[in-house]
Amino acid sequence: MYHSWLDRWDERRARRGEEGKKATDLILDADRAFPGPRKIASIEEFCVLADQAVADPAFFDEPSESDQGFERRDGWLIFPSDIATDIAANNLVWAKITESGSFDQAMVIFHHWNAGARNRQIANFFSRRGITVVEIAMPYHFERSRPGSVHADYMLSPNLGRTVQSIRQGVLDGRKLIRWLKSEGYRDISVFGMSLGSWVAGLIAAHDPAVSKASLFLTAGSLADMVWTGRATRLIRDSLEPEIELTDLRRAWGPLNLENYVHSLARPDLDLHIVLAKRDKVVLPELSERFMQRLKGAGARPNILELKCGHYSLAMPPYILLAGLSLKRFLSRADKSALRP
């Protein structure tokens, strides 16, 4: 009875999230994802470039390592993104810093798609326990929102190239922030991502050796499969389905598929923490399970917590309390690198 009520609650929440959204046309926009002189006019050509990006270890590397442009302002860190888009507000990154008074550990939070506010409760909870919390705005969210938009439609959409560009921008922004934190003297850096934010956090953890811990809530491997099957992305699928097969979408968004980087995520100096919802209709449990199996097959030993709730009802007691306590225990564990002789 209770779980049926939870399912209905999640469905009502999903319907509210659809307000203001509409189906649009599939657009390649390959030059946004893979800048270059070559003009791409077909899905197959786009997929070839995506395959090359998956094989390129530098695709998610920062284009520069300049320390210029960082500004501290009343608890905020503001800095320019290394990817320039046609939305001026999106090109300036805002991150809210909640200091802990210690330089032992910092955690960077990547919120969910269309988040309406940062989470002061999480930031205060962990800062009181010696962890500085930095809540970064992902592309087209919060202070970086596109003027006139009612949701972050430019970060995840039927525009294949802009979606790749946006996720890559989020990764590069996060890596730039992490480099700044290291320069400030923070020893251990953790990343924490929720839903779409877990893809950004996971990609950063896979590519940045400065990250020692990664906590991924409501996650899976293939972003293409999540969009194709998930309740929250139904309108995106409606836009894509007449023009592209799922097999091609998997290739087109291959650079964003965490399953392609499981060996990097399984590196011995990275701890992984995963929280999943067994009744999730947005990130289907079978997609998450496939990702867990791929991680384990690569040698990773993730700390996995599965809760009997839905995607949105994870935010309700007792589930959010169980997830928060699990995250606290995970972050309190000794760093692997500190244990090695």
Q: For the chain, how far is it from start to end, CA to CA, in angstroms?
A: 53
Which of 7-11, 54-58, 260-264 comes out lowest in average pLDDT?
7-11
On the question of pLDDT at 219 being above 60, the answer is yes
State the pLDDT at residue 340. Answer: 38
Cα dist from 15 to 5, 82, 293, whole Å:
15, 35, 32
* pLDDT range class, residue 14, cuts 50, 70, 90: confident
Mean pLDDT over 112-119 rounds to 92
> What is the full DSSP assignment across 139-171?
TTSGGGPPTT-SS-TTTSSSBHHHHHHHHHHHH
Give the model's pLDDT for residue 104. Answer: 93
Mean pLDDT of 13-31: 82
pLDDT at 2: 64
CA-CA distance, 330 to 188, in Å (whole number)?
13
pLDDT average, residue stretch 24-29:
93
By percentage, how much of the chain surpasses pLDDT 70?
94
- The DSSP secondary structure of 45-98, one letter per residue, reads HHHHHHHHHHH-TTTTS-S----TT-EEETTEEEEE-SS--S-GGGGEEEEEEE
Residue 33, CA atoms < 13 Å, CB-side half-sphere = 31
* Rounded distance between C-alpha atoms, residue 243 and residue 197, angstroms: 27
CA gap 153, 21 in Å, rounded: 8
Q: Mind listing the pLDDT tens digit for each residue in 230-270?
A: 999 999 999 999 999 999 999 999 999 999 999 999 999 99
How far is residue 212's CA from residue 198's CA, in Å, rounded to a whole number? 16
Question: Domains along the chain?
Answer: 2-339 (3.40.50.1820)
Higher pLDDT, 21 or 292: 292
